[in-house]
Structures are given as C-alpha cells and as structure tokens.
C-alpha cells in the first residue's frame, strides 16, 4: 500500500516526462528519415534540445533552490569552450566517441568548478546577490574569451590578449582560440540523438535529485531558510550543491553547443545576458519549479520565432503576444480554473468511454 | 545537573540591551514557562539559545556541554529544537515532506545515489517515510500526509511545526507562543498535545506564552522577563501571584 502510494506520487510524473521526450524524439527522427523536414528545421533540433537542457538546469536553480541566476549562458560558454579546446587538441588522437565522452566530462566538470567558485562568496548571503553576480559573471566570461588568443606549439601553451601574432608561436603551432574569430574546426560530434540522450540524463538527474533527501533539504531552504537551519540542515552546503549541479548541467548543454557548430564564437548572440534572460523566460513560462514545463516551454518558445521567420516583420510581435497569452493561461487564477475544469471533463469523458 | 543552564546571558543591538544578565536553569523533564509583557525579550532569548543571534555575554550549557556560539544547525544536533511565533513551515512541501526534511540526518546516502536513485536510496527513503508517518500519527496528522502544508488549518499547522521539531529528537523543545491566534478549543487541544509529547517522548519543554490559562495549567515553573531582565522566577502559582509581576503586566495602580 505504502509502496504503491509512493510510486504514484513521485514516479509517475517523472516517467511521463521521459515518455514525452522520447516520443518527441521518435517523431522527429521519423520526419527526418522520411525527408519530410526542411533542412532549416533540422538545424534547429539540436539547439532546441540544448536550450531545453539549460532550462532544466536553470529551473533547478530558480524553482527548486529559489535563487535567481542571470548567468546560465555564461556556464554554457564555459562548458562549450573547455570541451571544444579538448576536442580540438585531441582530434585524430582517439576514437570520436571516446573523445566526445571525455570532452563532455571536461565541460561538465569545468563549469561545475566555476559554478562552485562563484557560489562560495555569494550563496552565503541572503537576497538577490546571486542574480547580480551571475549577470556580471556571464558578461565577463564572454568578453574575456572573446578577447583571448590561445595557441599551442612544441614549447607549450601561449596566451595573449592582443593579437594572434603576439602569441609568438612556432610556424607549425596551432591556434586554438583566435580572439573574436573564436574556435574553428571543433569536430562535429553532437547530433540530435546524442542531445536527446543528454536531455534525458539531465531530466533523470534533476528530477531524482528533487525527489530525494538532498532535494528536500534544498526545497526546505527555499521555503524557509530559518526553519531549515532550526532542524539542522546545513544551508550553505545545500545551496552550493544545487547551484553547482545546475551550473554543471548548463555546461553539459554548452558541450553539445560547441560540438554542433562550425565556428564557436564568444559573442552576445550565443552567450550574452539576453540569452540568459531568454532561458529564464522558458523557465518562468514553463512554470517555476516544474521541470517538465521547462522542457516544453523551451521547445515551443525556441522553435516559434524561428518558424515565424517567414512572417519577417511581424515575427517578434507574434512571439510577444504568445508570451503574454502563455503567461495568462499559466498564472491567472480564472484561467487555471477553466483549464482544470476542461481537463477534468476530458478525463471524465475518457472514463465513461472506457467503461461503456 | 540541570539539562539547560544559562548563565548571565546578554545581547545588545547597538545601544539597546535587549537581554541582560539572564539566568535560567531547567531540570530534565520539566515543563518551563517564559513569560513577560510584549517586547520583554522572550523571543530574543529563544534566538540566543538556538544560535540565531550570537550572545555578547554569558554562557549556555546543554546537558553539561558548552554550546555558546554554536551555529543554528549545530545547536539542533546538540539537542535543541524549536517552533516559531509566526509559523514557519515549508509551505510548498507536503505535510510528510516537512517531517521528512527534519529527519534529514537519520538516514544518509550520497548525492550520487540521490541523483540516480540507486544504492542505499530506496531503503533509506522507505525508512524515512515510515518514521515520518509514525511521528505524524502521534500528532494525528497521518491522514493528511500528502496535503500541502500551507493548506492545513491554522491549528494543524502549529501541530505540524511541533511534529517537525520533534522529528529531530531533541532533548529540549522550545515553543514560541504555541497558542497564539488559537481559539479556546484549539488551545485546549494544544495543551493535550503538549502533555502527550511530554509523556511519550520524555522531553523537557521551555515555552513562551501569553495565555495565562495555558501557562498556569501546564507549566511547573516560570521565569518572568521584563525589559530584558529577569523579574521573577519559581513555581508558577507563586510567581503569578507576585505583585511585581502583576504590575509589569497590568501597569501601576496609581
């Protein structure tokens, strides 16, 4: 009895989410194999998936931990560049699969470390300091990498912030990061299937985490920090843990990003604060604290402006109208009431049909 | 040796001496009241005992060990649990999750096991759940275990807060105005609950309360606090009859 109750409460929702993701993947694959998909749309599938992953990561930070982060694009950036550098250096040295796997681990670990370091001073404080600091971090990391020249030759690694010539490399040396030109020639290891697998991994990790002793501790801190302390929960430790996991998953999305793009540049278009805000929009509209909602919102809201490209002038107008409409449907009490009644009537109807 | 021994405790916020020269000694198993007019510093004493504020003077001993200056979460592990004057539940968690989060240190497993639900996860969670249900049963809350805690009626929320504090298995329980905002029926039920947990868990209780009926009904001893200083202490009946105490509460009869 107890076990059954537990399953229905915690596990059912989780497996529905996995089911939706897998079903979406199968449908997309069928469309692709059958040649029914335009190459434009096909090119959107991987970005769509890694933005869904970052949205899940950010929801862990905003919805579960209750701390606002405006720098998740920065963690993506860290994951993207650290893994791209590894893949570039080891290209041809080892099999593709192994290389990508190691690159993935490196991207995740490096962004986790960066997240941890940022968390040390900020997460001890109460208030919106994390938002301010992560906003600054995202911009700083983007600009530093944008101005950086990095090369490697037989003498070792060369770094410069002036020009490629200032690297003073041997003629046969290899330029890894070419300033604003970015990183070129990263092996194209990631594809839609790998991205979906990693999305599932992110979902498993985050949803399982929420439904565990650690997740309860994190949520109790979110709901009432003072009460959480009073029952012996080490607040700073759990805030750091959740934030580090969130940063690590955002870094994982960055790894897919860098292994799916010909030229990896650290520009505002990819890693600026507006991207962080866009991801936050996915999280808020998908429902703060609702992991499944984040995935669905990320997919719809990423595809929408892209699919509306044909409408050119009216594209952003329609996009913003949709944002407002979604917000009303999600949050307005009257709309929630109508929505619940609607779904209840459908459920009843289905039951009646089932018994008849 | 008293369970809780407070010696010359004091704290000042800038120029304001909120609590001064506070002494308190509670024996094991006692039900002790801390009373006083509004702004006397009662909640400040609780905050000092639980490490929310660091005292600027004095020492606190629990069961003979010095716990002065420990952090809040350490003090909970030392053996003090508390409730709050304004209820502080984890509002977005279910009733049972509120208790389970208080059972945090009882069954441990790693974060990796938490992320992949492997290893010790299943066994530990099952034990936690059973234990939490057991505690809820004592407080008559087990039928509502899946409800969001913020959806409970007021009286039940107070009860749940006590249940959550008791889940950490403290030696000393601090109740900050448990009857605040309750109607007479709820207060009577609360008195039953307090007596019940005292019998069942063999625990020492220190409570702040304004409801004199409750205080005289269940507290064996009281300390009266006024302007941050101890005004009187001793057996409840005697202290409540003390003209000084009556004056502090009702003002001078001029």
DSSP, collapsed to helix, strand or coil, labels residue B57 as: strand
Which pLDDT belongs to residue A354?
A: 60
ipTM score of the complex? Answer: 0.92
- The helix (H) or strand (E) run that includes residue A186 is none
Quick check: is B206 in a domain? yes
**Cβ–Cβ below 8 Å for A231 and B50:** no
| Among the partner residues A6, A208, A228, nearest to B129 by beta-carbon distance | A6
Q: B135 and B160: one domain?
A: yes
Q: Does the pLDDT at position A309 exceed 90?
A: no
Q: B74 and B194: one domain?
A: yes
The residue among A28, A128, A133, A126 whose CA lies nearest residue A74 is A133
Quick check: is B86 in a domain? no
Residues of B whose CB is below 8 A from A216: 93, 97, 100-101, 104
Which of B124, B147, B167 corresponds to the end of one domain?
B167
Maximal C-alpha separation, chain A? 81
Within 10 A of A147 (CB to CB), how many other CB atoms are there? 14
Q: How far is B165 from chain A (nearest CA, A)?
A: 7
Lowest mean pLDDT among A130-134, A341-345, B144-148: A341-345
Comparison of pLDDT for A103 and A340, the residue scoring more: A103
Quick check: is B227 in a domain? yes
Quick check: is B196 in a domain? yes
Comparison of pLDDT for B84 and A355, the residue scoring more: B84
Quick check: is B248 in a domain? yes
Q: Are A215 and B125 in contact (CB under 8 A)?
A: no
- Residue A1 binned pLDDT confidence (cut-offs 50, 70, 90): very low
**Number of structural domains found in chain B:** 2
Q: Does the pLDDT at position A2 exceed 50?
A: no
Q: Which of residues 164-193 of B touch A (CB under 8 A)?
A: 164-165, 167-168
Q: Would you give the DSSP letter of residue B179?
A: T
Q: Which of residues 31-70 of B touch A (CB under 8 A)?
A: 50, 52
Which of B125, B144, B167 corresponds to the end of one domain?
B167
> Which of B43, B80, B86, B90 to mutate: most A Cβ within 10 Å?
B90
For residue B215, the domain's CATH number is 3.40.50.300
The residue among A20, A244, A265, A274 whose CA lies nearest residue A110 is A244
DSSP, collapsed to helix, strand or coil, labels residue A260 as: coil
Q: Identify the closest residue of chain B to A11 by CA–CA distance.
A: B117
Q: B31 and B68: one domain?
A: yes
Which pLDDT belongs to residue A60?
A: 97
DSSP A290-308: -HHHHHHHHHHHHHHHHHG
- How confident is the model over A51-82, as pLDDT tens digits? 999 999 999 999 999 999 999 999 999 999 99
Which pLDDT belongs to residue A5?
A: 44
Q: B68 and B177: one domain?
A: yes
Q: B178 and B254: one domain?
A: yes
Q: B75 and B179: one domain?
A: yes
**Cβ–Cβ below 8 Å for B76 and A232:** yes
Which pLDDT belongs to residue A343?
A: 85
Alpha-helical regions (H) of chain A: 2-6, 12-33, 39-59, 72-89, 96-122, 129-147, 192-210, 213-223, 225-230, 235-258, 268-271, 273-286, 291-307, 315-331, 333-355
Q: Identify the closest residue of chain B to A236 by CA–CA distance.
A: B73
Name the burial class of residue B126, with classes exposed (0-12), middle (13-18) and buried (19+) by CB atoms within 10 angstroms of its CB. Answer: middle
- The helix (H) or strand (E) run that includes residue B251 is none
Which pLDDT belongs to residue B111?
A: 94
- Residue A4 binned pLDDT confidence (cut-offs 50, 70, 90): very low
Whether B158 and chain A come into contact, CB under 8 Å, resolves to: no
> CA-to-CA distance for A20 and A199, rounded, in angstroms?
12
The residue among A121, A82, A67, A85 whose CA lies nearest residue A245 is A67
Which pLDDT belongs to residue A355?
A: 54
The residue among A9, A246, A158, A186 whose CA lies nearest residue B115 is A246
pLDDT < 50 positions in chain B? none
Mean residue pLDDT of chain A comes to 89
> CA-to-CA distance for A301 and A188, rounded, in angstroms?
26
- How confident is the model over B75-105, as pLDDT tens digits? 999 999 999 999 999 999 999 999 999 999 9
The residue among B94, B108, B103 whose CA lies nearest residue B76 is B103
- Residue A225 binned pLDDT confidence (cut-offs 50, 70, 90): very high
Q: Given phi > 0 = left and psi -120 to 50 = alpha, else beta, which region is A151? A: beta
Q: B174 and B201: one domain?
A: yes
Q: B180 and B241: one domain?
A: yes
Quick check: is B84 in a domain? no
Quick check: is B212 in a domain? yes
Query: Residue B60 belongs to what domain range?
Result: 1-79+170-254
> CA-to-CA distance for B251 and B2, rounded, in angstroms?
34
Which of B129, B148, B167 corresponds to the end of one domain?
B167
Q: Does the pLDDT at position A347 exceed 60?
A: yes
**Cβ–Cβ below 8 Å for A231 and B102:** yes
**Cβ–Cβ below 8 Å for B115 and A224:** no
In percent, how much of chain A has pLDDT > 90? 61
- How confident is the model over A13-45, as pLDDT tens digits? 889 999 999 999 999 999 999 988 888 888 999
Within 10 A of A37 (CB to CB), how many other CB atoms are there? 17
A→B contacts (Cβ < 8 Å), by residue, are 2-3, 6, 9, 204-205, 208-209, 211-217, 219-220, 222-224, 226-235, 241, 245, 289
> Which of B71, B114, B124 to mutate: most A Cβ within 10 Å?
B114
The residue among B82, B75, B100, B80 whose CA lies nearest residue B90 is B100
| Among the partner residues A208, A223, A228, nearest to B115 by beta-carbon distance | A208
- How confident is the model over B5-44, as pLDDT tens digits? 999 999 999 888 999 999 999 999 999 999 998 888 999 9
In percent, how much of chain A has pLDDT > 70? 96
Query: How many CB pairs lie under 8 A apart between chains A and B?
Result: 113
Q: B251 and B176: one domain?
A: yes
| Among the partner residues A205, A229, A235, nearest to B115 by beta-carbon distance | A205
**What residues does B125 pair with on adjacent strands?**
none
Whether B114 and chain A come into contact, CB under 8 Å, resolves to: yes
Structure tokens at A176: 């890894």
Q: What is the mean pLDDT of residues A95-101?
A: 92
Q: B151 and B184: one domain?
A: no
**Torsions phi, psi for A138 (to 5 deg):** -60, -45
Q: B147 and B226: one domain?
A: no
Q: B127 and B64: one domain?
A: no
- How far, in whole angstroms, is CA A94 from its chain's centroid? 28
Q: Does the pLDDT at position A6 exceed 80?
A: no
> Which of B86, B104, B148 to mutate: most A Cβ within 10 Å?
B104
Q: Identify the closest residue of chain A to B108 by CA–CA distance.
A: A213
| Among the partner residues A9, A205, A213, nearest to B104 by beta-carbon distance | A213
**Torsions phi, psi for B175 (to 5 deg):** -115, 120
Which pLDDT belongs to residue B87?
A: 94
Which pLDDT belongs to residue A356?
A: 46
Quick check: is B31 in a domain? yes
Which pLDDT belongs to residue A83?
A: 96
> Which of A207, A227, A243, A246 to mutate: most B Cβ within 10 Å?
A227
């Amino acid at each position: 009895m107890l076990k059954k109750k537990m399953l229905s409460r915690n596990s059912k929702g989780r497996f529905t989410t996995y089911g939706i993701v897998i079903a979406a993947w199968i449908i997309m694959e069928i469309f692709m194999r059958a040649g029914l998909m335009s190459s434009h749309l096909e090119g959107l599938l991987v970005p769509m998936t890694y933005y869904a992953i970052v949205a899940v990561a950010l929801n862990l930070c905003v919805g579960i931990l209750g701390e606002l982060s405006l720098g998740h694009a920065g963690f993506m950036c860290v994951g993207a560049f650290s893994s791209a550098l590894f893949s570039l250096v080891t290209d041809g040295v080892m099999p593709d699969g192994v290389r990508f796997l190691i690159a993935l681990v490196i991207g995740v670990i490096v962004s986790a470390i960066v997240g941890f370091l940022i968390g040390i001073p900020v997460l001890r404080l109460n208030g919106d300091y994390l938002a301010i600091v992560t906003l600054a971090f995202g911009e700083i990391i983007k600009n530093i990498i944008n101005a950086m020249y990095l090369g490697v030759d037989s003498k070792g690694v060369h770094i410069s912030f002036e020009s490629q010539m200032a690297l003073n490399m041997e003629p046969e040396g290899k330029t890894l990061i070419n300033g604003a030109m970015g990183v070129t020639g990263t092996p194209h290891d990631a594809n839609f299937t790998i991205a979906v697998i990693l999305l599932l991994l992110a979902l498993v990790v985050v949803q399982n985490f929420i439904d565990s002793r650690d997740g309860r501790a994190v949520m109790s801190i979110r709901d009432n920090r003072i009460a959480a302390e009073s029952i012996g929960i080490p607040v700073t430790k759990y805030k750091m843990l959740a934030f580090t996991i969130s940063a690590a998953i955002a870094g994982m999305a960055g790894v897919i990003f860098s292994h799916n793009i010909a030229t990896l540049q650290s520009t505002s278009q990819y890693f600026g604060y507006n991207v962080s805000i866009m991801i936050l929009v996915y999280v808020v509209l998908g429902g703060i604290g609702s992991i499944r909602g984040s995935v669905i919102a990320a997919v719809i809201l990423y595809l929408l402006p892209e699919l509306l490209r044909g409408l050119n002038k009216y594209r952003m107008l329609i996009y913003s109208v949709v944002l407002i409409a979604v917000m009303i449907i999600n949050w307005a009490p009257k709309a929630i009431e109508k929505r619940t009644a609607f779904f209840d009537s459908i459920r009843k109807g289905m039951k009646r049909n089932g018994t008849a | 040796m008293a369970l809780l021994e407070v010696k010359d405790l004091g704290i000042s916020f800038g120029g304001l001496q909120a609590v001064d020269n506070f002494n308190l000694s509670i024996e094991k198993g006692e039900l002790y009241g801390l009373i006083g007019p509004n702004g006397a510093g009662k909640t400040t004493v609780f905050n000092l005992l639980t490490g929310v504020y660091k005292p600027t003077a004095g020492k606190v001993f629990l069961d003979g060990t010095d716990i002065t200056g420990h952090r809040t979460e350490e003090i909970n592990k030392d053996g003090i649990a508390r409730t709050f004057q304004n209820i502080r539940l984890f509002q977005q968690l279910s009733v049972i999750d509120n208790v389970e989060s208080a059972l945090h240190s009882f069954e441990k497993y790693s974060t990796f096991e938490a992320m992949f639900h492997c290893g010790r996860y299943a066994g530990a969670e099952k034990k936690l759940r059973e234990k939490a249900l057991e505690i809820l049963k004592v407080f008559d809350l087990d039928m509502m275990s899946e409800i969001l805690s913020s959806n409970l009626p007021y009286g039940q929320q107070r009860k749940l807060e006590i249940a959550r504090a008791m889940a950490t298995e403290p030696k000393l329980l601090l109740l900050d105005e448990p009857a605040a905002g309750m109607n007479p029926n709820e207060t009577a039920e609360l008195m039953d609950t307090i007596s019940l947990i005292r019998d069942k868990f063999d625990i020492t209780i220190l409570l702040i309360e304004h409801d004199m009926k409750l205080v005289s009904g269940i507290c064996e001893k009281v300390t009266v606090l006024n302007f941050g200083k101890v005004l009187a202490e001793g057996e409840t009946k005697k202290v409540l009859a003390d003209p000084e105490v009556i004056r502090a509460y009702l003002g001078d009869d001029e």
